[in-house]
Every structure is written in C-alpha cells, then in structure tokens.
C-alpha cells in the first residue's frame, strides 16, 4: 500500500483528545504531487478535510488536476522562481516529503504518526525512491513536524489560486528577494542536531 495512504486511511477526524479543538490535525509537506498516485492521495486528503480534520498542506509543484482536487483547502506553494532562466529559487522552497498526524489515528484518540519519506507523490517517486519510515505514537516528533509545517505555511508566498509553474520566470518585489535570517529558527534547529 502507498505509505501516505497507509497513514491517512487510519485517521478519524473527530474525537481527538490531544488537540485543543478535538479535531485531528494533519500537516503535509510534500514537494511534488503528480499523476494518478498524487491524485489518489489528494482525494483522501480532501475527504479528510471535508470530514472535519484540521488539514494544512505545503508543496512545491502540483499538477493542475491535483490542484483542482484540493481547491478551497488550506494549501500553499513554497516555491518562488526568480531570474531570467527561471532556475534560481528563493529561500521559500520546500523539498520535504511526508506528513504528521496528531489526534484520532490508528484507533487511538491521543495518537500521533509521522511519515518521513524521500519520495515525491508521483508514479516515478513510487518506483525510484525507497525510503519511507512511519513513526507511530511518537508525540514529540509529530509535534515538531507539525510546528515546522505551520511555519512553512505562514511563510509560503503562493496559494493554489496564484500557483506558479517552475518553468515560469517571476519578478520579485525589490527588497523581498530573500527571507531574512531571523525568519528561520536556525539556533533551535542547530540545538536539536547537536
């Protein structure tokens, strides 16, 4: 089974005892969504959003069919292309692949799970990458992952409505080409790695 669906199929949206709202929180950061595989995952994410889960998505590239599935949801694009050749990216870039769930998951109202992966949600990703690790019931890890996705979401410059293709050059606002160092918690990350 697809690792993302192996997690998402075990989610119930209400009855969470470890979230303030009682709704299960789902945070997704996956760089590329494409083809039928990406669409299957997107349909499940949409289903959970409609069922009342607290869902937030950040991504880099997504086919229009998949963007249509997620339309109206809290989903933001993190990539912002600059330069005439459209191959230089701002700091606003996400390369993560995975998701975190806090709430009613795997039969536990106080459950947590993190999917950490190396694969884009595409057919090629399924065949070319093999690193998928699912951490069940690690509340601290799920909380850190969810907070990180929330930070990325707050910084992401684009939504599904103003999506930009990776091949499209964009003109940055003067003075806004890069995030400032203080916008990223480097000290916190270094402390965790140390």
Domains of the chain: 3-171 (3.30.870.10)
- What are the tens digits of pLDDT across the range 14-50? 999 999 999 999 999 998 888 889 999 999 999 999 9
Q: Is the pLDDT of residue 170 over 50?
A: no
Rg (CA), the chain: 17
* Residue that wins the pLDDT comparison between 97 and 143: 143
Rounded (to 5) percent helix, strand, coil in the chain:
30, 30, 40
């Amino acid at each position: 089974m697809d690792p993302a669906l192996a997690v998402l199929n075990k989610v119930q949206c209400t009855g969470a005892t470890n979230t303030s709202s009682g709704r299960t929180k789902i945070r997704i950061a996956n760089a590329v969504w494409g083809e039928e595989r990406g669409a299957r995952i997107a349909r499940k994410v949409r289903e959970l959003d409609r069922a009342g889960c607290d869902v937030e998505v950040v991504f880099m590239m997504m086919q229009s069919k998949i963007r249509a599935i997620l339309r109206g949801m809290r989903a933001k694009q993190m990539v912002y292309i600059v330069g005439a050749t459209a191959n230089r990216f701002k700091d606003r870039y996400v390369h993560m692949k995975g998701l975190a769930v806090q709430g009613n998951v795997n039969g536990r109202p106080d459950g947590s799970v993190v999917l950490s992966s190396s694969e884009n949600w595409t057919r090629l990703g399924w065949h070319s990458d093999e690193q998928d690790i699912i951490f069940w019931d690690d509340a601290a890890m799920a909380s850190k992952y969810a907070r990180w996705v929330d930070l990325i979401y707050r910084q992401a410059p684009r939504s599904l409505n103003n999506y930009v293709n990776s091949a499209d050059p964009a003109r940055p606002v003067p003075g806004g080409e890069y995030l400032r160092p203080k916008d990223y918690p480097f000290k916190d990350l270094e402390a965790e790695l140390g």
